[in-house]
Amino acid sequence: MLPRILIVDDEIINLQVAASYLQSTRLYTISVAKSGKEALELMGIVSPQLILLDVIMPEMNGFQICRVIKDNAEWKDIPVIFLSGVVSDEDRKRCFEVGGVDYLMKPVEQKLLLGKVATYL
């Protein structure tokens, strides 16, 4: 069974780009969520092995979503890679404080994303 990756982003184009990068390898099964609420609902259903998580989203931001994931005993060991279009040392620092394993800037290069995903899986 292929590892499942959950991509969470409120922008459809960002979901499509990240999914196409990952699907091009044929090494992963991809699930997508357009909000934090949808992501948390999918967690128990799809059981991802890795999460790509946007930082800035309405309702719940990526940091809030990550905290919920890391506070859940079943999900706490799932690696979370943050993706953000904002260059901020504060956001980078916060990414690691809430349990993220990495912080990548959007638009992310395909090779970089694939390399990071392979590393954390």
SS3 37: helix
C-alpha to C-alpha distance for 57 and 107, rounded to whole angstroms: 16
Could you tell me the two tokens for 121?
A: 């899986």
Strand intervals (E) in the chain: 4-8, 29-33, 50-54, 80-84, 102-105
| pLDDT of res. 50 | 98
| pLDDT of res. 42 | 97
What's the pTM?
0.97
For residue 118, give the nearest of 81, 84, 86, 87 by alpha carbon. 81
Given this structure, which CATH class describes domain 4-120?
alpha beta
Q: At residue 93, does pLDDT exceed 90? A: yes
Q: Tell me which DSSP letter residue 107 carries.
A: S
